[in-house]
Amino acid sequence: MGRAFVYVILGGGVASGYAALEFARRGGYSRGELCIISEEAVAPYERPALSKGYLLPEGAARLPGFHTCVGANDELLTTKWYKEQGIELVLGTKVISADVRRKTLLTGTGETISYKTLIIATGARALKLQEFGIQGSDASNICYLRNIDDADKLVSAMKSCPGGNAVVIGGGYIGMEYAAALVTNKIRVTMVFPEKHCMGRLFTPQIAEFYENYYTSKGVTFVKGTVLTFFEKDTTGKVTAVILKDGRHLPADMVVVGIGIRANTSLFEGQLMMSMENGGIKVNGQLQTSDNSVYAVGDVAAFPIKLFDGDIRRLEHVDSARRTARHAVASILEPSKTRDIDYLPFFYSRVFTLSWQFYGDNVGEVVHFGDFTSSSPRFGAYWVNKGRIAGAFLEGGSREEYEAISIAVRRKAMVINMGELEKQGLALAIQE
Ligand code: FAD
């Protein structure tokens, strides 16, 4: 048995929802020609809501409230919307193999779905502790967070231990967001990670110190420079303690793990060109893979960044998923009018009452600016590479200020004197 479509979007996450909206806006298909296949049981939604609104103790976000594309202040695409637009949603369906030469996908239910053009939007999966040789990660009170089922498990784990102890494994942005959500739910948190400071891939020691102090003031304990070795469990198989390499023993009513992600490329390995360094499917500036009927977008795609002189990057951020998805649809429907993507990497996070944004690349020398100590902090950093601004970070900025730093990065503003840059701080971007 099988169905045939002109366009198939494989994956039902952020990129998929934005691609669907772009198809609908451009009107480049007829009813029944476009379908989305997703392992998830619901229409595409704004994944970042899972670690923010979804985990709030009161007034928590729930579907249909955060389907795409509300995260970009755009239309809310409910199941009804897809129906009205004549876009077929094939939900709760995993694709188990792909044949790029034959242009077919085989689903777990045994159906063969064929396409003329395929957009791969399979995103990424959370890395599991088992992959690092830690046994017992299947306990009911060990949580990850990538989809609604994970989020529901996390919510019920929090509810089962009011006032209890949680151990967060991993000090990246997901770990930081978990910790904030757990504290808001009145659970005591210890964060464990091997690096010297949190958000090691982006934060400078000075920026990290600010957030760690802030978290400490909210009751979070940091255990840095070590890793877990095993879990202690009770007779029902629940974790009761986390044992660290340095010998420490942390009591735990629940464990939340955020140790990174891997792009979901496996269906296409050996069929499409991969970017080994980035761990994703390699695409050109039109988001087209090595097969010209197949495009890849979002977390799974490694694409050239013009601003970084065409350097190939795979970005794990929502803004990149939205923009690459829209760009791919434009490339498919209007190839002659669509130039290569010119994307400015952008990443943000919101925790407690804090909120930061980062643009560009964190390479080169760093200059900090602003007030790190006030009760309403407003500070940041520039990364200066070869005499030009390569990246900028800002905490507590206004919309205009965030825009100003993004423009300074986009223009690669020239820096003559680092001391002067430090003195000027945000003013440099605003003058630009
Ligand atoms: P995804 O949204 O992951 O969607 C992939 C889809 O493909 C899923 O529906 C999956 O089920 C489906 N799929 C995969 N394989 C198959 C298959 N074989 N068959 C069928 N379906 C399949 N980014 C930020 O910039 N800021 C944030 O604050 C932020 N917060 C986040 C918080 C959380 C908890 C998470 C998990 C991510 C967060 N992100 C954030 C990252 C952002 O959500 C991702 O960059 C974005 O979701 C990527 O979109 P995507 O469509 O490429 O992948």
Say if residue 430's pLDDT is above 80: no
The CB density around residue 345, as the number of other CB atoms within 10 Å, is 19
Pocket test of ligand 1: the residue of 46, 122, 256, 357 to mutate, having most ligand atoms within 8 Å of its CB, is 122
Over the Cα atoms of the chain, what is R_g?
22
Mean pLDDT of 56-69: 97
pLDDT in tens, 293-345: 999 999 999 999 999 999 999 999 999 999 999 999 999 999 999 999 999 99
Q: How far is residue 104's CA from residue 115's CA, in Å, rounded to a whole number?
A: 6
416's torsion region: left (phi>0), alpha (psi -120 to 50) or beta? alpha
Average pLDDT, the chain: 95
CA atoms within 13 A on the CB side of 224: 13
Task: At 402, give phi and psi (nearest 5°).
Answer: -65, -40
Enumerate residues 6+ apart whose C-beta is below 8 A from 288: 294, 295, 328, 331
Say if residue 137's pLDDT is above 80: no
Please give the pLDDT value at position 166. 98
Q: What CA–CA distances, in Å, run from 386 to 308, 358, 418, 420, 421?
A: 12, 19, 12, 16, 15
pLDDT in tens, 229-272: 999 999 999 999 999 999 999 999 999 999 999 999 999 999 99
pLDDT in tens, 152-184: 999 999 999 999 999 999 999 899 999 999 999
Token pair of 2 as six digits: 């099988």
Is any atom of ligand 1 closer than 6 Å to the C-beta of 71?
no
Ligand 1 atom at shortest distance from the alpha carbon of 15: 51
Pocket test of ligand 1: the residue of 38, 56, 182, 402 to mutate, having most ligand atoms within 8 Å of its CB, is 38
Ligand 1 atom at shortest distance from the alpha carbon of 350: 28
Q: Look up residue 187 and give its amino acid.
A: I
Q: Which strands sit side by side in the sheet containing 95-99, from one edge to the other?
A: 2-4, 112-114, 104-107, 95-99
pLDDT in tens, 339-387: 999 999 999 999 999 999 999 999 999 999 998 988 789 999 999 999 9
Task: At 46, give phi and psi (nearest 5°).
Answer: -80, 100
Mean pLDDT of 95-120: 98
Centre of ligand 1 from the C-alpha of residue 70, in Å: 15
Cα 325 versus chain centre, distance: 14
Enumerate residues 6+ apart whose C-beta is below 8 A from 159: none
Q: Look up residue 133 and give its amino acid.
A: G
Please give the pLDDT value at position 374. 82
Say if residue 215's pLDDT is above 80: yes
Centre of ligand 1 from the C-alpha of residue 125, in Å: 8
Q: Are 8 and 113 in contact (CB under 8 A)?
A: yes
- Helix %, strand %, coil % of the chain (to 5): 30, 30, 40
Please give the pLDDT value at position 431. 66
Enumerate residues 6+ apart whose C-beta is below 8 A from 270: none
Q: How far is residue 425's CA from residue 430's CA, in Å, rounded to a whole number?
A: 9
Q: pLDDT band at 427, cuts 50/70/90?
A: confident
Centre of ligand 1 from the C-alpha of residue 342, in Å: 22
Please give the pLDDT value at position 135. 74
H-assigned helices in 284-410:
318-333, 399-410
The CB density around residue 204, as the number of other CB atoms within 10 Å, is 17
Distance separating the N- and C-terminal Cα atoms of the chain = 60
Please give the pLDDT value at position 432. 59
Which one-letter DSSP state was computed for residue 414? B
Nearest CA, atom 10, ligand 1: 11
Centre of ligand 1 from the C-alpha of residue 146, in Å: 7
Q: Are 26 and 333 in contact (CB under 8 A)?
A: yes
Q: How far is residue 170's CA from residue 206's CA, in Å, rounded to a whole number?
A: 19
Q: Which among 154, 161, 216, 159 has a CA at the least distance from the CA of 190?
A: 216
Is any atom of ligand 1 closer than 6 Å to the C-beta of 347?
yes
Q: Look up residue 393 and give its amino acid.
A: F
Query: What's this model's pTM, rounded to 2 decimal places?
Result: 0.97
Say if residue 6's pLDDT is above 70: yes
